[in-house]
Amino acid sequence: MKKTSPTIRDVAAAAGVSVATVSKYTNGSQRFSAPVEAKLKSAIESLGYRSNPLARSMITGETRTIGLAILDIRNPHFTNIVKGANRIALQNDYTLLLVDTEESQARERPLIEALAQRVDGMIVSSRMPDDSVQWMLELHKPVVLFGRNPNFPIPSVGTDSYLAAYMLARHLVNQGHRQFAYLGFGQSRWNDERIRGVQACLDEQGLTATVYDAAAPSPQAGERACSAIMLGPQRPDAVICYNDLIALGFIKEARALGFALPQDVSIAGFDNVPYGEYASPALTTVDLQSERMGELAMLKLIDALAGKSDSEYSLLEPRLVVRESTPRRAGAPHSDSTPEGRANPPRGGTSR
The residues of the shown chain that bind DNA, judged by CB under 7 A, are 4, 7-9, 16-24, 26-27, 29-33, 35-37, 51-52, 55-56, 58-60
63: contact with its own copies by CB under 8 A: yes
d(CA 284, CA 272): 8
* Dist. CA 311–CA 113, nearest whole Å: 25
Residue 27 or 280 having the CB closest to DNA: 27
User: Which of DNA, its own copies, none lies near 31, with the C-beta cut-off 5 to 8 A by kind?
Assistant: DNA
In angstroms, the CA 155 to CA 142 distance is 9
59 vs 153: CA distance, rounded Å: 30
Q: Of 225, 216, 175, 180, give the one whose Cα is nearest residue 199.
A: 180
Which one of the spans 24-32, 201-209, 278-286, 305-313 is the region binding its own copies (CB under 8 A)? 278-286
Please identify, using beta-carbon distances, which residue of 13 and 98 lies nearer to DNA. 13
- Residue 140 sits in the site that holds its own copies (CB under 8 A): yes
**Interface residue with its own copies, options 37, 192, 277, 340 (CB under 8 A):** 277
Instruction: Figure out which of the listed residues 38, 58, 228, 257 binds its own copies, where binding follows CB under 8 A.
Output: 58
Q: What is the DSSP string of 197-228?
A: HHHHHHHHTT--EEEEE-SSSSHHHHHHHHHH
279 lines the binding site for its own copies (CB under 8 A): yes
Among 13, 47, 97, 322, binds its own copies (CB under 8 A): 97
CB 297 within 8 A of CB 126: no
Concatenate the DSSP letters of all residues of 89-122 into one string.
HHHTT-EEEEEE-TT-HHHHHHHHHHHHTTSSEE
CA distance 279 to 60: 51
Rounded to a whole number of angstroms, the minimum distance from the CB of residue 25 to DNA is 8
Residue 143 is given by DSSP the state E
Nearer to DNA, 17 or 122 (CB): 17
What does 288 interact with, of its own copies, DNA, none (CB < 5 to 8 A by kind)? none
Q: Which is nearer to its own copies, 79 or 188 (CB)?
A: 79
Q: For CA atoms 246, 249, 254, 260, give the dihedral sign.
A: positive
Give the alpha-carbon dihedral of 310, 315, 321, 325, to 10 degrees: 130
CA angle 270–259–231, rounded 5-degree value: 85
Q: Is 289 near its own copies (CB under 8 A)?
A: no
Minimum distance, C-beta of residue 79 to its own copies, in the bound complex (Å): 6
- Judged by CB under 8 A, the residue of 44, 226, 251, 302 near its own copies is 251
Name the binder of 134 from its own copies, DNA, none, CB < 5-8 A by kind.
none
Chain centre distance of CA 320: 18
How far apart CA 136 and CA 185 sit, in angstroms, is: 25
Q: Does 103 participate in binding its own copies (rule CB under 8 A)?
A: no
Among 217, 219, 262, 269, binds its own copies (CB under 8 A): 219
Of residues 41 and 74, the one with the C-beta less far from its own copies: 74
Contacts with its own copies by CB under 8 A: the residue count is 50
Q: How far apart, in Å, are the Cα atoms of 337 and each of 170, 188, 329?
A: 13, 35, 15
Q: Which residues form the interface with its own copies (CB under 8 A)? A: 3-5, 48, 50, 52-55, 57-58, 63, 65, 73-74, 76, 79-80, 82-83, 86-87, 90, 95-100, 102, 107, 111, 113-115, 117-118, 138, 140, 219, 248-249, 251-252, 274-275, 277-280
